[in-house]
Amino acid sequence: MITVESLTFNPYQENTYILHDETNECLIIDPGCYNASEQNELVNLIKSKNLKPVLLINTHCHIDHVLGNKFVFDNWGLKPHFHEQEQWILDAIPGYAPSMGMHYELSPKAEYYLKDGDIIKFGNAKLESIFTPGHSPASLSFYSKADKFVIAGDVLFHQSVGRTDLPGGSFPVLKQSIETRLFPLGDEVKVYPGHGQPTTIGFERLHNPFL
């Protein structure tokens, strides 16, 4: 069984997820830790649970979701895994971060480019990657069939959806991703979004004003 831990980081209030199972191996998704205090929060959670980080994954590569990539690499030697079509999004960050007043430590290069349908294994657990573009060119969501949840990045929120006015964004594509790739997972599936509170597929199917 996968346990999902979450921490909220940086000025964008981004959700960083730490997933672990009974083996204590853990997966870090979208580390957004920005300053020393937030970095310590991440370290303290991992140490307090006696976890062993084995994988670093980015749902997509907007700045708020990758601010901690370098920190994770420096501390646990992990390079990020994300979709290849997100590489140019990552590469663009040094050009715009200063204009946003953000300090950005350069992320390591990807260790592996994930594809739709890839199976990510850690400990005794596994997740399936689901291609869900629209908010960004190649967002991936990560689904646990056994534990009935999905890590959705900035694709689907509680009564909202990801913005589509950034480079590579498209509302029709985003809507299609949600309706054809996430909704079929089932109403009981819990959604852990990149910002804000968790929700469920069933709730969003009925109450999301954007869908």
Question: pLDDT tens digits for 137-191?
Answer: 999 999 999 999 999 999 999 999 999 999 999 999 999 999 999 999 999 999 9
pLDDT tier at 53, thresholds 50, 70, 90 = very high
Torsion angle in degrees (nearest 10) through CA of 40, 68, 63, 194: -70
Q: In the chain, what is the greatest distance between 2 CA atoms, to the nearest angstrom?
A: 44
Q: Which fold has domain 3-207?
A: Metallo-beta-lactamase; Chain A (3.60.15)
First-to-final CA distance of the chain: 31
Mean pLDDT of the chain: 98
pLDDT the model gives residue 66 = 98
Neighbour count for residue 77 (Cβ, 10 Å):
10
pLDDT tier at 90, thresholds 50, 70, 90 = very high
Question: pLDDT tens digits for 64-82?
Answer: 999 999 999 999 999 999 9
| Whether 162 contacts 156, CB under 8 Å | yes
pLDDT tier at 193, thresholds 50, 70, 90 = very high
Question: pLDDT tens digits for 118-143?
Answer: 999 999 999 999 999 999 999 999 99
Mean pLDDT along residues 189-211: 98
User: Domain extents for the chain?
Assistant: 3-207
pLDDT tier at 108, thresholds 50, 70, 90 = very high
pLDDT the model gives residue 203 = 98
pLDDT the model gives residue 187 = 98
Give me the percent of the chain exceeding a pLDDT of 90: 100
